[in-house]
Amino acid sequence: MKIVIAPDPELRRVCDPVEPGDSSVIRTAKQMAKVMYRNSGCGLAAPQVGIHKRFIVFDCDVENEEPTPTLLINPEIVDHGDEIIRSGEGCLSIPGLTLEIPRWDAVKVTGLDENFEEVVFEAEGNLLCRCLQHEIDHLNGMTMFERLDPLARIAALREYQYALEHGARPGDVEVHA
């Protein structure tokens, strides 16, 4: 299982909903969690490993040293706060960069768990809040670059070009020249 790296057009595809009971998702999610931990990520969306289905894995529990990955199938933001917060964000598909990305301060996300039972996540002002929005963007074919205004995007793409030329790998949050 390999991480798809931007600007691969695979990352810009809108993913299809997971069919109820599609057990391949459970197997794939286990592998995805391994890839996520191995590369020091806190979230990974299926299209980042070349699968165009709507599911994500994440582990935003920074207090807990034990890996506790969560699988969320067909996630959807059903409600959000009133404010936008900008903060530094990385992506395993965009190695070597940390970008200031605007996100909702709070979100309510629904979806299905590994038993295909409905779950709800409410997150406010924390890593989970940001991670959920980031990973759901991936399912809609959006990377961090598409969240930036045109000028910031040009600067970020230039920085990214530099990072790639200097051998940035998934999990790198900056480039040491």
Residues lying near Ni ion in the complex (CB under 5 A) are found at: 91
The residue (of 18 and 136) whose beta carbon lies closer to Ni ion is 136
Residue 82 CB, nearest approach to Ni ion (Å):
25
Count how many Cα atoms sit within 13 Å of the Cα of residue 56 in the half-sphere of its side chain: 26
- The contacts found for 55-62 with CB under 8 angstroms, 24 or more apart, are 55/18, 55/25, 55/28, 55/29, 55/139, 56/132, 56/135, 56/136, 56/138, 56/139, 57/29, 57/32, 57/33, 58/128, 58/131, 58/132, 58/135, 59/33, 60/126, 60/127, 60/128, 60/131, 62/127
Residue number, 7 or 116, with CB nearest to Ni ion:
7
Nearer to Ni ion by Cβ, of 97 and 117: the residue is 97
User: Is the CB of 116 or the CB of 171 nearer to Ni ion?
Assistant: 171
Cβ 117 to Ni ion, closest distance in Å?
Answer: 26
The CB-of-138 to Ni ion minimum distance in angstroms stands at 6
Distance CA(97)–CA(114), nearest Å, equals 32
CA distances 25 to 54, 102, 145, Å, are: 10, 30, 27
Query: Mind telling me the catalytic residues?
Result: 135
Contact 50, 121 (CB under 8 A): no
**Shortest Cβ 151–Ni ion spacing (Å):** 22
